[in-house]
């Protein structure tokens, strides 16, 4: 903002522009921090998820992720479950909690339906009622016009 000063023969000029260099520096540092920390935070079992139109999930700390890979191996929050009996025992322990945690199933795109169906069967036997499937968004529907 400029201002007039009366009296002296020379009129001093006031700089009216905002210096944005510090703002840009801070934003670049924050961007670098986010780019470095995001891959560290997302540590999951590597499975190729199928594509689908979906809404984003809000993950709560008490939610349980069950992953089924291409070979049919079942993982409970990144820990491999060796047999159905242990899976059922873990499900029954979680089913009695109030409120009941939500189960998120991450099935590999090439996993057999039998493997994922077996997990659903064990969830039903164990008494779980809140089950969701995690998928990748179908990017073919979001093409630029």
| Average of per-residue pLDDT values in the chain | 83
Tokens found for residue 107: 């099935």
Q: Give me the residues paired with residue 75 across strands.
A: 67, 80
pLDDT at residue 74, as a whole number: 96
Model confidence pTM above 0.75? no
CATH topology of domain 51-140: Nucleotidyltransferase; domain 5 (3.30.420)
pLDDT at residue 37, as a whole number: 80
pLDDT at residue 145, as a whole number: 45
pLDDT at residue 90, as a whole number: 95
pLDDT at residue 137, as a whole number: 76
Residue pLDDT, tens place only, 21-47: 888 999 999 999 888 887 766 667 888
Q: Percentage of the chain with pLDDT > 90?
A: 52
CA gap 93, 41 in Å, rounded: 27
Q: Where are the domains of the chain?
A: 51-140
Residue pLDDT, tens place only, 90-121: 999 999 998 899 999 999 999 999 999 999 99
């Amino acid at each position: 903002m400029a201002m007039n000063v009366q009296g002296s023969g020379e009129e001093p000029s006031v700089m009216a522009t905002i210096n944005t260099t510090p703002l840009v520096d801070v934003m670049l540092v924050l961007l670098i921090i986010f780019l470095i920390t995001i891959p560290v935070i997302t540590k999951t079992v590597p499975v190729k998820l199928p594509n689908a139109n979906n809404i984003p999930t809000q993950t709560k700390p008490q939610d349980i992720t069950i992953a089924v890979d291409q070979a049919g191996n079942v993982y409970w929050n990144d820990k491999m479950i060796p047999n159905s009996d242990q899976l059922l025992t873990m499900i029954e322990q979680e089913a009695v909690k109030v409120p009941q945690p939500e189960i998120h199933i991450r099935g590999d795109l090439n996993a057999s339906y039998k493997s994922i169906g077996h997990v659903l069967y064990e969830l039903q036997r164990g008494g779980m009622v809140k089950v969701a499937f995690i998928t990748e968004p179908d990017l073919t529907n979001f093409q630029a016009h």
